[in-house]
Structure 1
Amino acid sequence: MSNTERCCNVDVIFEPFRNNGNESSLYMVYKTLTSQYELNQALHLVKEFCLSSTSEENQRKSLEFLYSSSFFEDINKMIEHNRISEVLENRQWADIFEIMINRKREHVDPYTILKKMERMKPESQEVEVYKTLLTIYSYYDLRETGKGASYFTRLIDQVNAIEDPLMEMYFQERLDDFWFYYHFYRNELILSRRYGFRLVKNSNNSFKVCGIHVVLALTYMLEDYDQAMYHCHEAIAISDRNGYRFSHSIRELNIPFISAVNGIYEGIQTSDPVENAHLSIAKGNIDEAVEVLSKIENPSKLQQYYLGKALGDVEILNKVYNEFIKEGHFFFAKLPLMELRKLKENQNH
């Protein structure tokens, strides 16, 4: 089909939503097209509608649709379009989504985001929600999960006040996303999985679903190795299908990490020297692991855990455990705690 034919077809499809210079709401367009077409085709049609929208309201709400449907290549066009709008609220949405996209693509200083959010005076209830969302995201990036969680009640109240059904749907999905990670950090794995499975089933955001599979793999790490590997391979499949960058890190970091924690190393390979050292511990090649791990400057908490595990060093393991607890990451705190218990059992024997 030529571009001209495609444009004509789209114009015919969109005609019922555009009369006398007025546009139907984006929610009406979304509900109608998703009921008439297969989901992937419907989402691409809604995307085309967004990119050709003439309504100020639809133009700003298009940002959420494009973001939540993983149309990241198109979202910059809508950000720029909203940035030059005469409507202040549209410009606020443009600022918000520029931050969100930059958080995905590069390191953004969370303190800078917090300062921007502090200065922002929201023009609508939706912008209030985004302001709270970015505040929570920033505290989580700073590993200050307690501060982030303290905004949850405010966020829930703000989301409950949203009247637009499209935005309510997307904000509820974002809430599910928060609860998924919140319960994961707190080591409340059954609750975490409940939200994770709901997102995997219902979300159109393949980028988000890919990341959820990675975390679901971690939730099964100490319970069911095969189930953990299933989620890793699901994430790789989604990543490869959509051209995301997850695949390399899952193969090089996540799979070796989960395997080494379980003492599994046969057939597991990685070019990452630290995860190789972790696998060396599983193999019993302690000197080889210590040689790599002891040379790391400013090691992460997990890298300190590896070294404490290799050396059987109670002081290092206690330090890492307390740091994870202070950070509110009770899931990863289990790892040094497990080693401390093993050491104690060996002493007793």
Structure 2
Amino acid sequence: MTDYQLIEPSPLRKLQMSRTSSLYDVYLGYLRKYPRKDAVLQTKDHILSQFPTSIDEQIVCMEFFYMNDFFEELSVITASPYINKEAGHLYQVILSQMGRDKKKNYLDELKDLHFTHPSLRCLHLFTLVYSYQDLKVFTALDKYLDECDQALQQVDEPLMYYYLNQRYQELLFYHYWKTNNSILASRYAYKMINTEVSPRRKSRMHHDLALCQLFNGYDSSMESLLKSMEIAEKHGHLRFLQTVKNRSLPFISAFHQETEGISTTDPVEQAHLALARGDYKKTQEILHSLPSLTPFQESYLGLAKGNREMLKHSYHRFIHEQGDYFFAQLPLAYLERI
């Protein structure tokens, strides 16, 4: 399927669309003429050359910027006095949630916001769930699932629906992953990967899918991780690539005890690699030097010491501190190795 066909709604969905934005027509036209990368850049230039004044057009333009990783441009636009205040503020919150400083959570503020515009209402619900996930409350989608689904069905513009549906697949992936339903999680990951999505998002989804497949075997996990690294390298996402090489690659390799040729500058994963190689003394030396231990690190130390109580404690910490039922399996797997 070609890129332009991916963003076109199905015949049934098309009947439910009350309008198409001018941006949809412009972007669809570029996708028919150019490769995706060029079409995205052409569309970005089009938006910046004549930014719309109507709220409907502004929303879909901001979502286009967000989903195609034009975050600097989006940040400037949201601060413009010509932007609808409600829409601009919601995207400012979304950009803040992406930032490295996760100390501020917008959950209480978001709960007080209300939107009548179909696209903003749907986006608002998704942003609420993002805030819960930042707090490691991965079961929050259960509370909003029906509401999110109904709100998505009310979105009446094809490009906005396409992007919001991508976001929904992503939310469902993280929900099912962290609540330990890796089969369903993988299904939603592949749905997103097979859409017209930015290289950054595709690389990260392959990465998270690799972790989601951790307990399905080394080959399954590594296949997705190598794909993530390939995309990141091809598109110059070097910081992310370095993080994967220093953390995720040794993590997966150490868990499966496939450590030949694997090294890292990350001390925690150095301890994990030492654990996989049977050097329990080195593992303990590194981890005892840390001021405090995460549930992951407590799992490594518990196995290095052969301490079953420490592993059981780590299991409960994963669930009660992080709401992570998936990685709570890690100390249980290590219990079987003692």
Q: Which TM-score band applies after superposition, normalised by the shorter structure?
A: 0.7 to 0.9
Aligned with residue 289 of structure 1, among 283, 293, 318: 283
Give the root-mean-square deviation of aligned CA atoms. 2.0
Residue 145 (structure 1) aligned with residue 138 (structure 2): yes
Structure 2 gaps of 5+ residues are 1-19
Q: Distance in 1 between matches of 2:111 and 2:50?
A: 31
1:32 aligns with 29
2:124 aligns with 131
Q: Distance in 2 between matches of 1:210 and 1:110?
A: 27
Q: Distance in 2 between matches of 1:62 and 1:24?
A: 9
Q: Distance in 1 between matches of 2:114 and 2:215?
A: 45
Q: Given that residues 203 and 209 in structure 1 are in contact (C-alpha distance below 8 angstroms), is that contact kept between their aligned partners in structure 2? A: no
1:254 aligns with 248
Residue 42 (structure 1) aligned with residue 31 (structure 2): no
Structure 1 gaps of 5+ residues are 1-22, 344-349
What number of residue pairs does the alignment pair up? 315
Q: Distance in 1 between matches of 2:218 and 2:24?
A: 42
Higher mean C-alpha displacement, 66-75 vs 313-322: 66-75
2:316 aligns with 322
Aligned with residue 327 of structure 2, among 326, 332, 345: 332
Q: Distance in 1 between matches of 2:70 and 2:233?
A: 16
Q: Distance in 1 between matches of 2:85 and 2:226?
A: 40
**What's the CA shift for 1:125?**
2.1
Higher mean C-alpha displacement, 54-63 vs 314-323: 54-63
1:129 alignment partner, SS class:
helix
Q: Note the alpha carbon deviations across 1:230-258, whole angstroms, 9 max, x for none.
A: 32222223223333321111000000100
**What's the CA shift for 1:147?**
2.7
Q: Distance in 2 between matches of 1:184 and 1:120?
A: 29
1:100 aligns with 94
Residue 200 (structure 1) aligned with residue 200 (structure 2): no
Q: Cα gap change, 1:290/1:182 in structure 2, threshold over 3 Å: closer, same or farther?
A: same
Q: Distance in 2 between matches of 1:290 and 1:265?
A: 18
2:76 aligns with 77
Counterparts of 1:232-271 in structure 2 under 5 Å?
Answer: 232-244=225-237, 245-271=239-265
Q: Given that residues 110 and 141 in structure 1 are in contact (C-alpha distance below 8 angstroms), is that contact kept between their aligned partners in structure 2? A: no
Q: Note the alpha carbon deviations across 1:65-118, whole angstroms, 9 max, x for none.
A: 01112223432232233xx12x6xx2222222222223323213353x112212
**What's the CA shift for 1:124?**
1.6
What amino acid is aligned across from residue 58 of structure 2 in structure 1? Q
2:299 aligns with 305
What amino acid is aligned across from residue 185 of structure 1 in structure 2? K
2:114 alignment partner, SS class:
coil
Aligned with residue 163 of structure 2, among 162, 170, 174: 170
**What's the CA shift for 1:159?**
0.9
Q: Distance in 1 between matches of 2:112 and 2:29?
A: 39
* TM-score of the two chains, using structure 2 as the length reference: 0.86
**What's the CA shift for 1:217?**
1.1
Q: Distance in 1 between matches of 2:327 and 2:75?
A: 36
What amino acid is aligned across from residue 26 of structure 2 in structure 1? V
What amino acid is aligned across from residue 268 of structure 1 in structure 2? I
Q: Cα gap change, 1:119/1:24 in structure 2, threshold over 3 Å: closer, same or farther?
A: closer
**What's the CA shift for 1:226?**
3.0
Q: Distance in 2 between matches of 1:110 and 1:175?
A: 23
Q: Cα gap change, 1:277/1:307 in structure 2, threshold over 3 Å: closer, same or farther?
A: same
**What's the CA shift for 1:334?**
1.2
Q: Given that residues 180 and 195 in structure 1 are in contact (C-alpha distance below 8 angstroms), is that contact kept between their aligned partners in structure 2? A: yes
2:215 alignment partner, SS class:
coil
Residue 219 (structure 1) aligned with residue 208 (structure 2): no
What amino acid is aligned across from residue 193 of structure 2 in structure 1? V
1:203 alignment partner, SS class:
coil
Q: Cα gap change, 1:110/1:147 in structure 2, threshold over 3 Å: closer, same or farther?
A: farther
What amino acid is aligned across from residue 242 of structure 1 in structure 2? H
Q: Cα gap change, 1:277/1:49 in structure 2, threshold over 3 Å: closer, same or farther?
A: same
Percent identity reads 28
| Bigger relative CO (Cα 8 Å, ≥ 6 apart) | 2
1:64 aligns with 63
Residue 161 (structure 1) aligned with residue 154 (structure 2): yes
Q: Given that residues 70 and 206 in structure 1 are in contact (C-alpha distance below 8 angstroms), is that contact kept between their aligned partners in structure 2? A: no
